[in-house]
Structure 1
């Protein structure tokens, strides 16, 4: 059997046959525990007060996790109301009836109201309190006040102080690294190459890594601009990275070489790498678009 906590309440009439119960209830900071007998007495008519009763099942054998999680919220509502300034003309009593203490009441309420399992019931004190206020007469209501969680507050302050201490200790060593322009340039370049090569396309389309070429082998490049393979993305990213690195070296590093012969050799080497990788990139483009007329040797 599975239980969900639900509220029965806010019944109002004009007499005072159970008035002694409302005085007792309002003097307690938490909802009073009910059973079959006390439930019938406090909800009997006539009366001149409202009643909010939580029907729940807290014992582990019933397996109602929502009942146990909502119980502290219910007690918070009762505490806020009973300790707050009471509105004139509104008397409200809080009670809790556990299934173990009121089986007959559960059966009666279920039979009369058709209550079953509900998934849209309030699970926080704020939601439940707002629902209760909509069913009470208009007027000032005590505010819902959550107690200060000092353990959480102390933990937050401790963590904050630890972070401040950590930053003050490692800051002189970490800040120069974070502020390094070359580091950010490398990171930015990696992300640019990653996404311009088609990483997001692969992630969204869930493309295969390689494909069969129909002759017993595999192919690394898919024809057409709307098709792509995982290995193809990695190859293109490597080509873009090599081309970028070659240009950076030719523009920044080679001019700083003092030896003219070494500088000339570096220009030849990196120029050859640049020419060869761009030739290979054009050959890949021709695979993707068979009508592309241009190429560079050796590819």
Structure 2
């Protein structure tokens, strides 16, 4: 059975560097023993309606798999595969992936640290601006105004910018309830 699995993987790999898998193939060739080879699996959602912003790594993954396939080190010990959500949704449930990872917060933090580090490096001979009370007061006020206006609530809850009444077409920028708000409402409060 092992030799049949390896032969099948080699046949698929000879046709395409990246082997497309569905749920049945994944369970048989990746999860089920016996297996004396390694499998690198990329989980993705390539269909445009999925709007997966982090799925752009597919082209780089193809380049990597092609490099391995046509290298002198190529053997039957390593295979590159891909599982698309539309072809193997059961695999995503099996490995408990319900949504793609979102690295925007990590990227924003890295960008902020880089900007602060760059500013300190450029101004290393004159760091008196760090002791400027007016600058710190303005920064603190900006944070207080942003939080008072409800920006954090918007970030957590993700409300719409405004609401358009379907009956009369009127746009509401301020929510009628005291338990909710629109993004436009927080912008109005911030400006006030």
- TM-score class, shorter: 0.3 to 0.5
Q: TM-score normalized by structure 2?
A: 0.47
Q: TM-score normalized by structure 1?
A: 0.31
The one of the two structures with greater contact order (alpha-carbon pairs below 8 A, sep at least 6) is: 2
